[in-house]
Structure 1
Amino acid sequence: MEDTGKFLFTFKGYNFTYSGIDVDFLENLDDFEIRDDDVFIVTYPKSGTIWGQQLLCLMYFEEHRKRLANVETIDQVPFLEYNVTGRHFDTRPSPRLFCSHIPYYLAPRGLKNRKAKIIYVYRNPKDVMCSFFHFSNMMRILKPSTNMEEFMELFLEGKVYGSLWFDHIRGWYEHKSHFNIQFIMYEDMIKDLRSSILKVCKFLGKELNKEDMDAVVSQAMFENMKSDPRANYESVLNRQPEIRRTDGHFLRKGTIGDWKNHMTVAQNERFDKIFQREMKDLPLKFIWDINEE
């Protein structure tokens, strides 16, 4: 384990925050017992984690879908590596639902038997970076940046929570044959949420009737999710006010192309060159603008 300052520490080449991390748990993560019907949402930070948590809650829990229970998504779909709500994984009924930011090489060995399912949600990295910039300035557990230029340097060097975006997505994609994994694009969820949900349902083997599907789609719409206290992490901020540096929301805009409001022409050109170099062999589709097909 390498200490990288008061905000981050590096474990096996990957940057974690100090908040909520149990080093002993990380050191034994490879042996974490996976059940065949476990479901994981895996993301790089600021790429749709909460959205994925909300989708799984709506699909799997009728009481969540029908608003019969006031249980938060982070309790229903807890982080694997961050002990935010208390770890009782062994006693959770199946199917267990998890979310995680871990890179492919830290995944528990049992995930590689290709039975448990992983949904990897990815987002165009310019919008990830801009969302991350605001988030880092909002949260005391992360290093703030004075401006986008300063944060962009950290982001492109992987000196942020979650390490290098390019490594994270390439690692999971290039090793996808080792896992039972489905890639979902954040921008597709914005442009056609119902089709994205149908794709996830098919992968998970979940059949929802029309009424339930309509309820899932409606409640999973970004603006509805942002106003749902079960899903928007406001309770986490209220329970732990010391982690908030400034006022703000975990869920900010949920749009496509906000990077245009933050990046200069020179920054964008530099980013494009690096993106082309790092991603030229990866056949994943990316959408950079709300009007793009």
Structure 2
Amino acid sequence: MLVASSTLSNHLVCCRPLLLVPSIFPNIRVFSRESSLLTMWPKYWSTHWMSEVLALIRSHGDPSWVQNALVWDRAPWIEAADGLKEALKYPPPRLLSTHLPFQVLPPLQSQAFFLCKEVVYTMCNPRDEMVSGYHFFQGFKDLKDSGTMEMYLERFLSGEVLFGSWFDHVKGWMEMKDRANIFFITYEELQQDLPGSVQRICCFLGKELNSQQIESVVENASFHKMKDNKMSNFSLIPDDIFDHTKGKLPRKGISGDWKNRLTVAQREYFDRVYQENMRGVNMTFPWD
């Protein structure tokens, strides 16, 4: 469950198990002017797929960087204490990542996200988010056990999971959808047309890649390439942090796996909660 201090008096914003210390806020402000920010509710594969795409676009399709630098070093998490230190390893323009909900970022809003060169927000069918999170979080030793799928479904729909409610996360960031420096895309769009999605992202970022470079981005960001790349497949997460026997990374790299995991009753329950929470949202999603 997301836990955040309401003020800076405690000098701490906490998203278990990650800590963001306000003393680094000025550095975030500096970084933001030269950085692209990737943000989304935490789903393992779509998060790191977009991170891979952005890294390859940054290097004009040259896979050297993604083959020689760990994925969490290429686009460090700003909510991690050492995140910005990791970002200093590379020259600008830099990539940064966050799973933080926009609603818990008042101290940062004017200092970082409004000033970022670009913000890319990736969304995914929440049913797939739920199933992916169930499997992904099982591997982290410091996190609460996911329990059964039914138990995790209840926690997911009530927002009692890491980084809080998917519904609040999406709606919070969507409040910024009219800002010119924020780009929204879905995991499903990436799957249906990765070359076209890469071109759209390049246009948003102001990056001009030729057809061969775009082909290289698409090839090297494929599921099979990333699965075989130890710098991208999370196989190098230390064993004291992640139990690789419980959480298989990456799993399938597909959308729609929720259909294989949820019962008819669970699907109907999920749909009711989804409709209640997304009522009034003026946006159509691929999964609607």
Query: Which residue does the alignment assign to 1:242?
Result: 240
Verify: 1:11 aligned to 2:8, yes or no. no
Q: How does 1:138-177 map to 2 (within 5 A)?
A: 138-177=139-178
Unaligned runs of 5+ in 1: 1-7
**Contact kept? 1:130, 1:259, Cα under 8 Å:** yes
Unaligned runs of 5+ in 2: 7-12
Relative to structure 1, the CA distance from residue 63 to residue 190 in structure 2 (aligned partners, 3 Å threshold; closer, same or farther) is: closer
SS at match of 2:80: coil
Deviation of 1:66 (Å): 4.7
Query: Which residue does the alignment assign to 2:10?
Result: none
Query: Which residue does the alignment assign to 2:72?
Result: 74
Q: Percent identity?
A: 32
**Contact kept? 1:40, 1:100, Cα under 8 Å:** yes
List per-residue Cα deviations over 1:47-82 (Å, max 9, x = no partner).
Answer: 611111111111112585256961222212111112
- In 2, the alpha carbon distance for the partners of 1:163 and 1:95 equals 30
Relative to structure 1, the CA distance from residue 84 to residue 55 in structure 2 (aligned partners, 3 Å threshold; closer, same or farther) is: farther
- In 2, the alpha carbon distance for the partners of 1:37 and 1:28 equals 16
Deviation of 1:179 (Å): 6.7
Query: Which residue does the alignment assign to 2:217?
Result: 216
Query: Which residue does the alignment assign to 2:261?
Result: 262
**Contact kept? 1:15, 1:163, Cα under 8 Å:** no
When structure 1 is superposed on structure 2, of 276-285 and 57-66 the one drifting more is 57-66
Deviation of 1:86 (Å): 7.1
Aligned length: 276
- In 1, the alpha carbon distance for the partners of 2:254 and 2:195 equals 17
Query: Which residue does the alignment assign to 1:41?
Result: 38
Query: Which residue does the alignment assign to 1:3?
Result: none
Relative to structure 1, the CA distance from residue 266 to residue 29 in structure 2 (aligned partners, 3 Å threshold; closer, same or farther) is: farther
Query: Which residue does the alignment assign to 1:281?
Result: 280
Q: TM-score, normalised by structure 2?
A: 0.85
Deviation of 1:110 (Å): 2.8
Q: TM-score, normalised by structure 1?
A: 0.84
**Contact kept? 1:31, 1:109, Cα under 8 Å:** no
Relative to structure 1, the CA distance from residue 204 to residue 94 in structure 2 (aligned partners, 3 Å threshold; closer, same or farther) is: same
- In 2, the alpha carbon distance for the partners of 1:274 and 1:9 equals 20
Deviation of 1:246 (Å): 4.7
Deviation of 1:111 (Å): 3.3
Q: How does 1:20-59 map to 2 (within 5 A)?
A: 21-23=18-20, 25-26=21-22, 29=25, 32-34=28-30, 35-46=32-43, 48-59=46-57
- In 2, the alpha carbon distance for the partners of 1:205 and 1:86 equals 24
SS at match of 1:129: helix
